[in-house]
Amino acid sequence: MNKFIPVIAGGIVIASFSAAVSAASMAENDSGLYVGGNYGYLKVESEDDFDDNNDVVQGIVGYRLNSFLALEGSYIDFGRYGSSAANAKTTGYTAALKGTIPITQTVEIFAKAGQLWHETDYNIATVSGSSDDKSLFAGAGVNFEVTDNFLLNAQYTWYDVDLEADNVSSDSKFETDFNQASVGAEYRF
Task: Per-residue pLDDT tens, the chain, 189 aa: give them.
Answer: 455 555 565 566 565 555 544 454 444 458 899 999 999 999 887 666 666 778 999 999 999 999 899 999 999 999 888 777 778 889 999 999 999 999 999 999 999 999 999 998 888 777 788 888 899 999 999 999 999 899 999 999 999 887 766 545 555 666 778 899 999 999 999
Question: 175 and 88 in one domain?
Answer: yes
- Is the CB of residue 97 less than 8 Å from the CB of residue 112? yes
Question: 113 and 74 in one domain?
Answer: yes
Q: Give residue 74's domain range.
A: 32-188
User: CA 61, CA 93: separation in Å to the nearest integer?
Assistant: 11
In DSSP notation, 11-61 reads HHHHHHHHHHHHHHHHHHHT-EEEEEEEEEEEEEEESSTT-EEEEEEEEEE
Question: 22 and 52 in one domain?
Answer: no
Question: 19 and 72 in one domain?
Answer: no
Question: 64 and 24 in one domain?
Answer: no
CATH number, domain with residue 77: 2.40.160.20
Question: 87 and 152 in one domain?
Answer: yes
Q: How many Cβ atoms sit within 10 Å of the Cβ of residue 149?
A: 12
User: Based on the structure, what is the number of domains in the chain?
Assistant: 2
- Residue 15 has, within 13 A of its CA and on its CB side, a CA count of 6
